[in-house]
Structure 1
């Protein structure tokens, strides 16, 4: 679940901007539905120096299971 409707609107705006700025983003969007859902345990093994995690869950969920380094 997202924090609120404004977060959903922001994601749509960012997607539209990315598609207009970077043609390769259109190809990524086509494959989006086939991407596996990522679990927090999977993210803990990521190199945080090369990964930016934007956590858009509601505040109570974010605080309950927070991934260090997530924004």
Structure 2
């Protein structure tokens, strides 16, 4: 199965929050309301520096994905 890179999510327990889930490595969820990020994959110490640099770009892409999805609803 070919999965999308990002998906939108919400949750009734967090009615004021919007989430974007990144399904490729490194898998993570970002709460767009407060920019809190939770990474699901274990990361080796060796990969930590590379991951930090990549995460900045991925978080920006997650925001751009959300903006593009919202434009489709207008």
Shared fold per TM-score greater than 0.5: no
Question: Between Structure 1 and Structure 2, which shows a larger proportion of strand residues?
Answer: 2
Larger relative contact order (C-alpha < 8 A, sep ≥ 6)?
1
TM-score norm. by structure 2 comes to 0.23
Q: Which has the higher helix share?
A: 1
